[in-house]
């Protein structure tokens, strides 16, 4: 029998039980959609974090409180969690900035941060804002642009002036405009004057400047009762000097603190480690979702075995009329493949559509390789799990099949 005729017979058999065929394909649909969605979320998270770290500025070295083992960053995020916890008991001081600046020749600019949060109020508008206390060189390290106004100066820091630079989103949500230089507002119990508004950077989360308020570090230390720094950023003169700068910073800091009280890392180390962790996470998410494809394949095999049993007399009649075993095998194999491939195509539409919807809520990158892989696997599932029922059908004795009731 020609392949085209076999294909028509297979499609007709599937259409005869539309509801069962759809439910049979459901496992494959869910599996393919899950693979695409979860891999896209993992890829989007990796791209977002990578881009945000790139936006932090070039040739950065970070000095963080506490001891961080890069090899342990992937262990459930424990090392990162301990780092954030260490910020609250940090022993880093403003004097450390001066020591590093004076003793490390590779340093171009260096800034410290004090982090906190406080309610920001302007007229009838209010919300909780993330507050970063820093020094005047911060704008050089982060390489940010302004929508209006500018950044505060070293004199503002030294005189502890209550001036603030606000992110674009804060300006839009609280003031209704990015052109609010000179306006006064309350941040916690302190009253500040806006001297600048950052240009919109996009993105979200802890690395985006859009929802931050920047104030002189001396004022932030007093407002949040923090004598120590949460983190130090040092900009190195060139990428080639990063490793040398880290070594020299460690030599300076070891004279001031114990080695377990701080960690110095260049951006390349952190980026490489985080990328490795997120790659592993993406693969793990895809693997978990792929289990659904396996379950879907088992479902197809189960239903096809039931179908062989139900159609035993039909198989016997066709064999009695001269149908060869390989023709019967090909027909049932085609039915299983059509169910899995059809489910795969629907799963691709569901997964890609879901990813597009989620992209409005969080950063997401549709990984096209995951679509190709999921579809290929779904087709393979139909062939692999369709072999057993197809072989069973092809091996039926025509006499026994015709006697079957």
Residues 321-348: tens digit of each pLDDT: 777 777 777 777 788 888 888 888 898 8
Q: Which residues of 76-86 are buried (b: 16+ CB within 10 A; e: fewer)?
A: eeebbeebeeb
Rg of the chain over Cα atoms, rounded to whole angstroms, equals 31
Longest dimension (CA), the chain: 102
What single-letter DSSP state applies at residue 185?
E
The structure tokens listed for 248 are 């020299």
Task: Work out the pLDDT band at 250, boundaries 50, 70, 90.
Answer: confident
Helix (H/G/I), strand (E/B), else coil: 156: helix
H helix or E strand, kind and range, residue 231: strand 231-236
Q: What does the alpha-carbon distance between residue 130 and residue 123 come to, in Å, rounded to a whole number?
A: 19
Contact 233, 62 (CB under 8 A): yes
CA within 13 Å, CB half, 165: 29
Task: Work out the pLDDT band at 240, boundaries 50, 70, 90.
Answer: low
Q: What does the alpha-carbon distance between residue 153 and residue 206 come to, in Å, rounded to a whole number?
A: 24
Give the model's pLDDT for residue 85.
46
Give the model's pLDDT for residue 195.
96
Q: Which residues of 355-379 are buried (b: 16+ CB within 10 A; e: fewer)?
A: beeeeeeebbbbbeebbebbbebbb
Q: Which conformational region is residue 84 in: left (phi greater than 0), alpha (psi within -120 to 50 degrees), or beta?
A: alpha
pLDDT in tens, 84-95: 444 446 778 888
pLDDT of 76 > 50? The answer is: no
Give the model's pLDDT for residue 166.
95
pLDDT in tens, 203-235: 555 567 888 999 999 999 999 998 888 888 888
pLDDT of 122 > 90? The answer is: yes
Give the model's pLDDT for residue 81.
43
Give the model's pLDDT for residue 396.
67
């Amino acid at each position: 029998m020609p392949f085209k005729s076999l294909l028509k017979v297979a499609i007709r058999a599937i259409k005869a039980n539309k509801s069962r065929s759809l439910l049979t394909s459901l496992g494959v649909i869910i599996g393919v959609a899950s693979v695409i969605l979860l891999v896209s979320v993992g890829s989007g998270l990796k791209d977002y974090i990578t881009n945000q770290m790139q936006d932090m500025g070039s040739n950065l070295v970070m000095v963080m409180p506490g001891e961080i083992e890069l090899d342990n960053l992937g262990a459930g995020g424990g090392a990162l969690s301990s780092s954030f916890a260490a910020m609250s008991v940090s022993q880093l001081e403003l004097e450390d900035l001066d020591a590093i600046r004076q003793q490390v020749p590779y340093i171009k600019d260096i800034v410290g941060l004090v982090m906190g949060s406080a309610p920001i109020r302007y007229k009838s508008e209010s919300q909780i804002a993330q507050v970063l206390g820093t020094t005047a060189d911060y704008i050089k390290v982060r390489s940010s642009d302004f929508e209006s106004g500018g950044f505060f100066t070293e004199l503002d820091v030294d005189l502890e002036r209550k001036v603030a630079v606000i992110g674009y989103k804060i300006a839009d949500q609280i003031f209704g405009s990015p052109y609010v230089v000179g306006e006064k507002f309350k941040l916690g119990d302190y009253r500040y004057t806006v001297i600048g508004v950052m240009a919109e950077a996009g993105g979200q989360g802890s690395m985006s400047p859009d929802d931050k308020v920047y104030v002189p570090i001396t004022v932030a230390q007093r407002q949040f009762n923090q004598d120590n720094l949460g983190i130090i950023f040092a900009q190195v003169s060139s990428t080639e000097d990063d490793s040398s700068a880290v070594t020299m910073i460690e030599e300076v800091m070891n004279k001031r603190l114990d080695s377990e009280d701080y960690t110095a890392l260049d951006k390349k180390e952190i980026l490489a480690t985080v990328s490795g962790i997120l790659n592993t996470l993406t693969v793990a998410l895809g693997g978990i979702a792929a289990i659904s494809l396996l379950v879907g394949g088992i479902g197809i095999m189960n239903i096809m075995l039931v179908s062989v049993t139900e159609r035993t007399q039909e198989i016997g009649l066709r064999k009695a009329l001269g149908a060869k075993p390989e023709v019967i095998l090909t027909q049932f194999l085609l039915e299983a493949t059509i169910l899995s491939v059809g489910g795969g195509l629907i799963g691709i539409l569901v997964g890609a559509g879901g990813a597009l919807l989620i992209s409005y809520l969080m950063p997401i990158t549709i990984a096209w390789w995951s679509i190709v892989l999921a579809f290929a696997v779904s087709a393979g599932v139909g062939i692999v799990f369709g072999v057993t029922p197809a072989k069973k059908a092809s091996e039926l004795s025509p006499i026994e099949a015709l006697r079957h009731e």
